[in-house]
Amino acid sequence: MSIVNHEIIKKNPELNMRYSIITCTNAAYTAMHWHNSLEIIYVLTGSLHVTVNNEDYPLSSKDFIVIDRKTIHATSCKKDVSYLLIQIPYHFMAEYIPNVDSLRFPCIFSSNKKDNRDILNSMRDTLQQLSYLWEHQYDGYSLRYFSLLFAFLDLLVTHYKSEASVKEVRQTEKYIERLSLITEYVQSHYQEQITLREAAQVLSINPEYFARFFKKYMGITFLEYVYSIRLQSAYQDIINTDLSIQEIQIRNGFTSAKIFTKIFKEQYGQTPREVRKANAPSGTAIL
């Protein structure tokens, strides 16, 4: 299952990686997740909230963040944000960066006062050029794209890389594999009433240990994660279907209308009914 919470204006599959400008005109939220690509976000307008390894990063215009492969993160915004998104896949990095499997990169946040400002400014300037290039693609623009991308990666590898031990690499692979089983299970069963015990049985461990393990690596409780997946689906139902709010609540696994409305407003800044009204054609009855 894939839940999309933003509008993808343009993608560039010919580059064999994701390179696009994302525009969100309404509230959007992407639950805790990870992937095998290095992710770069550069905010053009508005503000975006990013959570990486339990740390919160508020990004505004001209801020950027770099998120390493297999690093758990989430993004959210209230409305009206535009940002450049680049995801550099593992196979690309492995081709050009020696020993990439053992390399680690910290979460690089452009507003971090402890980092070298000259390096951060150079990285920001490169991202600005990449955003301009996306808007003004000409024949053969891919040459300019890769030139800028390699300049960015050169700064990243030269100034930020660290070596992980074999033990650390294996440990990361182990917990990512375990978490993948759980997140896939939740995304397949979020409409049902999932218990902590049932989730623990997926990994064949006791519920108490599972609860600690999940909170340690995901940064949120198992119930909070289940709610986040249900909310993403419910939000899409509200703006894309004619189902009533009550039907949407029930079909997405929420047994209490009060809890559904409360956590929905906490996440999106509006109640389900307010979101439906804001996205409904003029004169449409709100159910």
Q: What is the mean pLDDT of residues 29-51?
A: 96
Query: Could you tell me the pTM of the whole model?
Result: 0.89
What does the pLDDT look like over 222-238, one tens digit per residue?
A: 999 999 999 999 999 99
What pLDDT is attached to residue 279? 78
Instruction: Give the whole-angstrom CA distance, residue 121 versus residue 112.
Output: 12
Ramachandran bin of 99, using left for φ above 0, alpha for ψ from -120 to 50, beta for the remaining angles: left
pLDDT tens per residue, range 149-170: 999 999 999 999 999 999 999 9
Q: CA 106 from chain center: how many Å?
A: 17
Q: Which residues, in sequence order, are CB contacts of 127 under 8 Å at separation 6+? A: 40, 42, 64, 84, 152
- Asked if pLDDT for residue 281 goes beyond 90, the answer is no
Note the Cα 34 to chain centre separation in Å. 7
Nearest to 140 by CA among 20, 40, 22, 15: 15
Ordered domains of the chain (ranges, CATH): 7-163 (2.60.120.10), 167-279 (1.10.10.60)
R_g of the chain computed on alpha carbons: 20
Helix spans in 58-116 (H):
90-96
pLDDT at residue 27, rounded to an integer: 86
Q: For residues 42 and 125, is the Cβ–Cβ distance under 8 A?
A: no
